[in-house]
Amino acid sequence: MQLSPDETVFWQYGFFKLNATIAFTWGLMLMLAVGSKLITRKLSTELQRSRWQNLLEIIVTGIETQIEEVGIHHPRQYLGFLGTLFLFVASASLCTVIPGYEPPTSSLSTTTALALSVWVAVPLFGIEEQGLGGYLKSYVEPTVIMLPFNIISELSRTLALAVRLFGNMMSGAMIIGILITITPFIFPLVMMALGLLTGMVQAYIFFILATVYIAAATRTSEPKPAAKT
Amino acid sequence: MDSMTIIAVASIVTAGLTTGFGCLGPALGEGKAVATALTALAQQPDASATITRTLFVGLAMIESTAIYCFVVSMILIFANPFWNHVIAQTAGK
């Protein structure tokens, strides 16, 4: 029983391996990029617009609203990075309905790469917003004694992001695999539905945690007054 | 008992115990979290969006400890380095 799609190797040349993870990731990238390009070819601002444009608008404004609710005042700046995180993980999980497909996020390499990109992005956005001195000062925020703990917490939450997503995706695939050998036909379908649900929830969690980390790193001293009804 | 048997027995027992304890703690924690969230929802129904979102985020954080235990169990059963080492040794002999 294979633990991850890393073990299905299509082609190998010395050190470089083209395994199922990379192939499925390329497929997802192709689908997202080509799909968006096709839908946004003829954008209309009239009331009459195509269904697909409507769908994309719902998704994009939904993500923007979520980013704003976490406390980032200019969500447009981070919409590209955070929105892509959410869309990639969500579509990786949704495509499990296609037979023969293994979500690339069920491999520790993909989830580590995503977590590392968040780990790099948080200081980048923080320095962009607060300057190098301001951002480094946030590490000694309550007192100087907290400096090692802040650094450790930065590393551990990156690790937690990677392992959480990997664990959820891998467990979904593995449980379905095990159940098919025990009780075929009906029960694995229920577990597949549960797997889809947890996949979407984990995509949302990854996205919200990345947003919260970025909001914490770019938070200026005076927060804007919340104008909520 | 030779070392192969000891490794196998230890791996199997540890995998079972890890999953057992790993599901116990998070389940208790999540039950408490949902109960408190329901109380808060009953007291302030118009904050339901925020409460629901925070509840799901909190549940995912609690769930991740259960996932860590599950991953360790899976490693012990399916990708056990000690077992692979012992098997390679026996195959080589």
Average pLDDT of chain B is: 90
Q: Which residues of A touch B53 (CB under 8 A)?
A: 69, 208
Query: Is B16 within the bounds of a domain?
Result: no
How much of chain B, in percent, has pLDDT values that exceed 90?
Answer: 47
| Angle of the A75-94 helix axis to the A51-70 helix axis, nearest 10 | 120
What residues in B contact A168, CB-CB < 8 Å?
63, 67
In a domain, B75, yes or no: yes
pTM for the structure as a whole: 0.85
Using a CB-CB cut-off of 8 Å, the residues of chain B touching A164 are: 60, 63-64, 67
* Residue B74 is assigned to a structural domain of this protein: yes
Domain count, chain B: 1
Most confident of A169-173, B36-40, B51-55, B70-74: B36-40
Q: A204 and B56: CB-CB below 8 Å? A: yes
Q: Which residues of B touch A209 (CB under 8 A)?
A: 57
3-state secondary structure chain A: CCCCHHHCEEEEECCEEEEHHHHHHHHHHHHHHHHHHHHCCCCCCCCCCCHHHHHHHHHHHHHHHHHHHHCCCCHHHHHHHHHHHHHHHHHHHHHHHCCCCCCHHHCHHHHHHHHHHHHHHHHHHHHHHHHHHHHHHHHHCCCHHHHHHHHHHHHHHHHHHHHHHHHHHHHHHHHHHHHHHHCCCCHHHHHHHHHHHHHHHHHHHHHHHHHHHHHHHCCCCCCCCCCCC
Asked whether the beta carbons of residue B71 and residue A166 sit closer than 8 angstroms, the reply is: yes
In a domain, B46, yes or no: yes
CB of B78 within 8 Å of any CB in chain A?
Answer: yes
* Residue B13 is assigned to a structural domain of this protein: no
Partner residue facing B68 (CB), from A3, A163, A202: A163
Residue A183, pLDDT > 90, answer: no
Q: What is the CATH number of the domain that holds B28?
A: 1.20.20.10
In a domain, B36, yes or no: yes
Lowest mean pLDDT among A28-32, A59-63, A131-135, A219-223: A219-223
Tell me the average pLDDT across A18-37. Answer: 92
Q: Does B60 touch chain A (CB under 8 A)?
A: yes
| Domain of residue B74, residue span | 24-92
pLDDT digits (tens, 9 = 90+) for A105-143: 999 999 999 999 999 999 999 998 888 888 888 888 788
Chain A residues contacting B via beta carbons under 8 Å: 1, 3, 69, 160, 163-164, 166-168, 170-171, 174, 201-202, 204-205, 208-209
What is the average per-residue pLDDT within A55-81?
91
A121: CB partners within 8 A, 6+ apart: A81, A210, A214
Paired tokens of B52: 């629901």
pLDDT above 70: residue A75: yes
